[in-house]
Amino acid sequence: MEISGLQWGITIAVIVGLLAYDFIFHARKPHEPTVKEAAMWTSLYVSLALLFGLIVLFWDGPGFAAEYYAGFVTEQALSVDNLFVFLIIMASFKVPRADQQKVLLFGIVVALIARTLFIFVGAAAINRWSALFYVFGLFLIYTAGNLVKGEVTDADEEDEANNVMVRLAKRFLKTTDEYDGDKLFTEVDGKRMMTPMLLVMVAIGLTDIMFALDSIPAIFGLTQETYIVFTATAFSLMGLRQLYFLIDGLLDRLIYLSWGLAIILGFIGVKLILHALHENTLSFINDGQSVHVVEVSTGFSLAVIVGVLVLTVVASLFSPKGRAVRIINGARDWSERYLSLPESAPLEERTQAAEKMKKYRDQLPSVKAKYRDELIESEARYRDLLERAHGLREQRLAQADGGK
């Protein structure tokens, strides 16, 4: 695949332009995107990614187009998994909902820079030492095994949000306990201090770099074309901010996503090892000669990846446990949102929150006891939250009736 310097320049300029437009016209002004806004921008970025695949198809043929689509779908799936940890980090730091867009956009830029460096380093290393495919393959199989062995617990995710660099920053640097809008620095008693917003961005950025260690070997297992690796990775990251707000309420229902990703990473790991055997240069394997093994085609890889993801999502959404997660978390989330609404909030917004809260609360008796025990960390705190929200709703209804 011959890519000219001009084509590289245009591609990078378009990606930087899209990110700049996103920042200037959307993330720069703090606000919580509506579902409609998030859906519109997510659709736009997905459409651009799919359109780029058609351009690859037209200029470079179906083989490279299939590699691009397989890489994009895989990176997009891994990005959705990343959103779980982003959610935990921002909840841990209590980032205001309206300011989360800027944090996510910063994380996307850091991820794009880090992964670009990894892509070019990885491509150069593969060109010099084809045995690196063995390392990538074994690493992906190891990662898949860890996903199957046990899902990340809340404590583990809290630790991700409170990693070493963040703890050191809290200890040695002057930081405030309160946010000052989306500012990174503020003045307290005449002294310039960091806000928690800067710590959140550090946590998100460092987490992005760790995620790159999984995603880059995965996409190199599908294509070794640097241009395709870069563009598939870039397009999967650019719509991540909008996707976060679009599927925020859906994330915790994807209970089998870890299993689906484990299957995909394990499959790509095996594919990489088969490719390494085919390209073998290690003297202690078949005297340094190529080993005749079955090589997995890109079309078959794409079919496996899409099929596994579809089955994972369907099984998650329609399983009894998935339904229990939706009801339990829905009652909790809408109760918290209702309690946090000020008296000055629009009546329509309060009414919607109250109706959603009541809907999930009414469905709680249908949840089996085993799921309640598994999913509710503290029954007493959970019940107290729901009762406080219900009491406030009854109080407001009584006040409204009294005022008529």
Secondary structure in 3-state letters for 64-113:
HHHHHHHHHHHHHHHHHHHHHHHHHHHHHCCCCHHHHHHHHHHHHHHHHH
Q: How far apart are CA 70 and CA 305, in angstroms?
A: 7
- pLDDT tens-place string over residues 251-263: 667 788 888 888 9
Average pLDDT of the segment spanning 354-374: 88
Query: What are φ and ψ of residue 192, in 5° steps?
Result: -80, 125
Q: How far apart are CA 237 and CA 232, in angstroms?
A: 9
Query: What are φ and ψ of residue 175, in 5° steps?
Result: -125, 145
Among all chains, which residue has been given the structure tokens 């583990």? Answer: 156
Task: Assess contact for 44 and 243: CB atoms under 8 A.
Answer: no
The reported pLDDT for the residue numbered 107 is: 78
Flag whether pLDDT at 392 surpasses 50. Answer: yes
The reported pLDDT for the residue numbered 160 is: 47
Domain boundaries, the chain: 3-317, 322-400
Q: How far apart are CA 95 and CA 90, in angstroms?
A: 5
How far, rounded to the nearest angstrom, does the alpha carbon of residue 286 sit from its chain's CA centroid?
Answer: 41
* Assigned token pair, 336: 């918290």
Flag whether pLDDT at 305 surpasses 80. Answer: yes
Task: Assess contact for 376 and 328: CB atoms under 8 A.
Answer: yes
The reported pLDDT for the residue numbered 181 is: 66
Give the DSSP H/E element, type plus range, for residue 237: helix 226-238
Flag whether pLDDT at 202 surpasses 70. Answer: yes
CA distances 50 to 65, 73, 370, Å, are 10, 10, 43
Q: How far apart are CA 342 and CA 349, in angstroms?
A: 11
Q: Which long-range contacts (CB under 8 A, 24 or more apart) does 150-159 make?
A: 151/258, 152/84, 152/85, 154/88, 154/377, 157/84, 157/85, 157/88, 157/89, 158/88, 158/92
The reported pLDDT for the residue numbered 208 is: 73
Higher pLDDT, 253 or 267: 267
What confidence category does residue 375 fall into, taking pLDDT thresholds of 50, 70 and 90?
Answer: confident
Flag whether pLDDT at 404 surpasses 60. Answer: no
What confidence category does residue 155 fall into, taking pLDDT thresholds of 50, 70 and 90?
Answer: very low
Of 10, 73, 21, 9, the C-alpha closest to 307 is 73
Q: Residue 191: beta bridge partners?
A: 188
Q: Which long-range contacts (CB under 8 A, 24 or more apart) does 395-399 make?
A: 396/350, 396/354
Instruction: Show Cβ contacts of residue 310 under 8 Å, excluding neighbours closer than 6 positions.
Output: none
- pLDDT tens-place string over residues 130-139: 788 888 888 8
What confidence category does residue 49 fall into, taking pLDDT thresholds of 50, 70 and 90?
Answer: very high
* Assigned token pair, 377: 């960390």
- pLDDT tens-place string over residues 322-342: 888 888 888 888 888 888 887
Per mean pLDDT, which range of 13-17, 139-143, 163-167 is the poorest? Answer: 163-167
Cβ count near 97 (within 10 Å): 15
> What is the distance between the terminal CA atoms of the chain, rounded to a whole angstrom?
74
Helices 62-92 + 100-128 axis angle, to 10: 140
Q: How far apart are CA 148 and CA 160, in angstroms?
A: 19
Mean pLDDT estimate for the chain = 80
Q: Would strands 185-188 and 191-194 be described as parallel, antiparallel, or unpaired?
A: antiparallel
Q: How far apart are CA 291 and CA 209, in angstroms?
A: 35
Flag whether pLDDT at 247 surpasses 80. Answer: no
